[in-house]
Amino acid sequence: MKEFLSPEAAKLSPYTPGEQPLDKKYVKLNTNESPFPPSPKVLDALSREESEKLNLYPDPACRVLTDAIAKRHGVKPENVIAGNGSDEILAFAFRAFCGSGIGAAYADITYSFYKAQTALFGLDATVIPLRDDFSLCVDDYLNFPGTVFIANPNAPTGMEISVKDISRLAKSNPERVVVIDEAYVDFGGETCVPLTARYDNLLVVQTFSKSRSLAGGRVGFAIGAAGLIAALNRVKYSFNPYNVNRLSLVAGAAAMEDEAYFQACCEAIQANRAWTADALKKIGFTVLPSKANFVFAKSDRLSGEEAYRGLKERGVLVRWFDAPRLKDYLRISIGSRDQMQVLIDRLKEMSEGT
Amino acid sequence: MKEFLSPEAAKLSPYTPGEQPLDKKYVKLNTNESPFPPSPKVLDALSREESEKLNLYPDPACRVLTDAIAKRHGVKPENVIAGNGSDEILAFAFRAFCGSGIGAAYADITYSFYKAQTALFGLDATVIPLRDDFSLCVDDYLNFPGTVFIANPNAPTGMEISVKDISRLAKSNPERVVVIDEAYVDFGGETCVPLTARYDNLLVVQTFSKSRSLAGGRVGFAIGAAGLIAALNRVKYSFNPYNVNRLSLVAGAAAMEDEAYFQACCEAIQANRAWTADALKKIGFTVLPSKANFVFAKSDRLSGEEAYRGLKERGVLVRWFDAPRLKDYLRISIGSRDQMQVLIDRLKEMSEGT
């Protein structure tokens, strides 16, 4: 099977999505989705009338969506770009802000997509290890001259970096772009969006996939100074001008406008996270302090792989990473209270050898 | 406004989408959309029940959609990849099959996105002029050692290259990938899909944006040997693994399955195209022979720019390209019969100076 790969394509490092087995119905706690359906206002917005207009291209500028995002976050529409999920926005950022003489720095333990996208554009990568306790120390990035990518809260640890530290990083070198990936910020973290008004070099990326129950709709966005957004648009219009489809535009706008539903979902996840962390600790797990919609935890009895496989056999999917610093741990998405009860019950069975 | 552009991003050549003015309602014949809504089966598939599942990621492999495409085109699912519009698929092809030592060749007059995507990946471009009569002669590409991109029918001319010629091109150098962009093939052109079974180096790209009334849903695909599809998937999983959203997956599958609706739409466009070409000729236009859902035509009285501006003032949008070989022409999308009547009436008014 000849693939005709270019030298650059041969060097790619494709991302492996969380498994989506179709053999049976699982309690799915492996891809950090929301356990809640989208807001009823989203369902109403996705009307037959909207579908009837699908023969027409979407607005390439995504105005209905960027206006809603801008309003919610207290910025101007020129400070917002929307994408086909935040992965696409991140790819735009790698192309816009990295290249010859401008490498990318990111942590050894973080969203593994940064590595894939660095390879996609053939960029120089500087991988900076987290500290032994999995904390990210911005001092380790202060002298890096290229573009910095930080997930905050970090994945798969769930741990937070303080806004004060990120402010210090952005300020330390105004010639260098700092990209903060806030995919998981809505579950108790503090956003850096207000800092974008102060620092022209700070880009904040967010997604509708977690806190706004639209992983299936593929909507992400970035907020930053108008110059950064213009740079991202240069890439977008070189890649895929009509990048967000019509239905996702209206769904995203409706989701952004339903603040009450959003708050209720985020609060429920935080309550379930606290309950799950306690329950895990009671059965011998060490749980890292999480501000995300998942916890990263290791058992004092089972190896990471044993726990992952045992849960899968018992109908519960979690994510396990076969990597040196991660392999003792499980990344467990926070679902509904019922789902978390099933997880704990199955882990108890396994610990007790039943 | 500091953009922090990398050297590579500074060299980009972003695409300009057809204008989408919001000041008033136009007869919109400038972006080659279908004038018909999606199939009723598509509307039924986009149910509230599907929307309720938007909290879950889509299947990254897009199986429901690639299965429907494979069935319709008589290939296996491993011969199909789906994308967020065919623009995304084309970008994957530029990254997969071009790079150091492997440049891209395309015509001087063709879909202008090839130029934008070549710049996106910093590729060497070889631009091969069409002949004086706007025909593309494959002999001009036989000795090119890199990857060839050909739109068939070509845009914005609408002119067809024969399947026999493309077969000759693919056969002439089995080490070189040939990408045939069949965005407009369903309006009387002949597809090269059957050739993909014979040539491992031939990739055919198609879209749901024109003949399947889903421009707003952003669905495109490619068909080729399993090796080519695997190469494209390498890029996809390095860029955006969940590239097609849930609703577009089910909409695309339903559209692909409704053969009768598809045929009826394509026949109506061809009938309207014949009517429009005749009517244009009667008022002094030269019309290139089109197999697409648009015609490329020039007036013997009005300059391209005059005709474009005059029509816009009168509420009809068409596309005009301010480029040396194109500026005398208008690219006019084929809409409904009523829309085409309005176009002809307005052009008549303008010719008569009323």
Residues A75 and A188 in one domain: yes
Residues A200 and A77 in one domain: yes
B242 lies in some domain = yes
CA distance linking residue A275 with residue B213, whole number of Å:
48
Query: Is A12 close to B241, i.e. CB distance below 8 A?
Result: no
Over residues A99-131, the pLDDT tens digits come to 999 999 999 999 999 999 999 999 999 999 999
Query: Is B54 close to A48, i.e. CB distance below 8 A?
Result: no
A1 lies in some domain = no
User: What is the maximum span of chain A, computed from C-alpha positions, in angstroms?
Assistant: 60
Which of A258, A288, A305 corresponds to the end of one domain?
A258
CA distance linking residue B328 with residue B291, whole number of Å:
20
What pLDDT, on a 0 to 100 scale, did the predictor assign at position A24?
A: 74
Instruction: Pick the more confident residue, A253 or B353.
Output: A253
Per-residue pLDDT at B52 exceeds 80: yes
Answer for the pair B297, B321: CB distance below 8 angstroms, yes or no. no
Residues A18 and A151 in one domain: no
Q: In chain B, what residues touch A234 (CB-CB under 8 Å)? A: 3, 5, 9, 12, 14
Per-residue pLDDT at B215 exceeds 70: yes
Residues B184 and B73 in one domain: yes
Over residues B304-330, the pLDDT tens digits come to 999 999 999 999 999 999 999 999 999
Residues A77 and A59 in one domain: yes
**Closest CA–CA distance from residue A23 to any residue of chain B (Å):** 14
**Closest CA–CA distance from residue A208 to any residue of chain B (Å):** 9
Query: Is A53 close to B37, i.e. CB distance below 8 A?
Result: yes
Residues A138 and A201 in one domain: yes
Query: Is A237 close to B59, i.e. CB distance below 8 A?
Result: no
A165 lies in some domain = yes
Mapping DSSP to helix (H, G, I), strand (E, B) and coil, where does residue A267 land?
helix
Average pLDDT over residues A279-284: 97
What pLDDT, on a 0 to 100 scale, did the predictor assign at position A18?
A: 79
Residue B20 pLDDT class (50, 70, 90 cuts)? confident
Answer for the pair A153, A184: CB distance below 8 angstroms, yes or no. yes
Query: What's the Cα-to-Cα distance from B18 to each of A253, A260, B307, rounded to whole Å?
Result: 24, 38, 16
For residue B303, give its domain range: 7-37+260-351
Residues B245 and B315 in one domain: no
Residues A264 and A308 in one domain: yes
**Nearest CB neighbour to A119, from listed B58, B100, B238:** B238
CATH number where B284 lies: 3.90.1150.10
**Nearest CB neighbour to B96, from listed A6, A17, A59:** A6
Average pLDDT over residues A307-333: 96
CATH number where A227 lies: 3.40.640.10
Query: Is B214 close to A54, i.e. CB distance below 8 A?
Result: yes
Residues B254 and B264 in one domain: no
Which of B219, B245, B265, B333 to substitute to test the interface with A, most A CBs within 10 Å?
A: B245
Instruction: Pick the more confident residue, A354 or B171.
Output: B171
**Nearest CB neighbour to B54, from listed A2, A57, A214:** A214
A102 lies in some domain = yes
Residues A313 and A291 in one domain: yes
Task: Kindly compute the dihedral angle of the four CA atoms of residues B189, B191, B195, B201, in this order, to the nearest 10 degrees.
Answer: 100
CA distance linking residue B100 with residue A124, whole number of Å:
17
DSSP β-bridge partners for residue A287: A297
A128 lies in some domain = yes
Q: Give phi and psi for A338, each to the nearest 5.
A: -65, -40
Query: How remote is the C-alpha of A87 from its chain's centroid?
Result: 8
Q: pTM of the entire structure?
A: 0.97
Which of B208, B232, B258 corresponds to the end of one domain?
B258
How many domains does chain A divide into?
2
Which of A223, A258, A293 corresponds to the end of one domain?
A258
Per-residue pLDDT at B53 exceeds 80: yes
Answer for the pair A315, A27: CB distance below 8 angstroms, yes or no. yes
Q: Which of residues 113-132 of B touch A (CB under 8 A)?
A: 116-117, 119-121
Q: Which of residues 256-285 of A touch B (CB under 8 A)?
A: none
- Please tell me if residue A65 touches chain B, with a CB cutoff of 8 Å: no
Residues A118 and A148 in one domain: yes
Over residues A6-65, the pLDDT tens digits come to 999 999 989 888 787 777 789 999 999 999 999 999 999 999 999 999 999 999 999 999
Q: Helix B226-239 vs helix A113-120: angle between axes, to the nearest 10 degrees?
A: 120
Residues A57 and A87 in one domain: yes
Over residues B143-202, the pLDDT tens digits come to 999 999 999 999 999 999 999 999 999 999 999 999 999 999 999 999 999 999 999 999
Which of B55, B148, B243 to substitute to test the interface with A, most A CBs within 10 Å?
A: B55
Answer for the pair B351, B302: CB distance below 8 angstroms, yes or no. yes
B1 lies in some domain = no
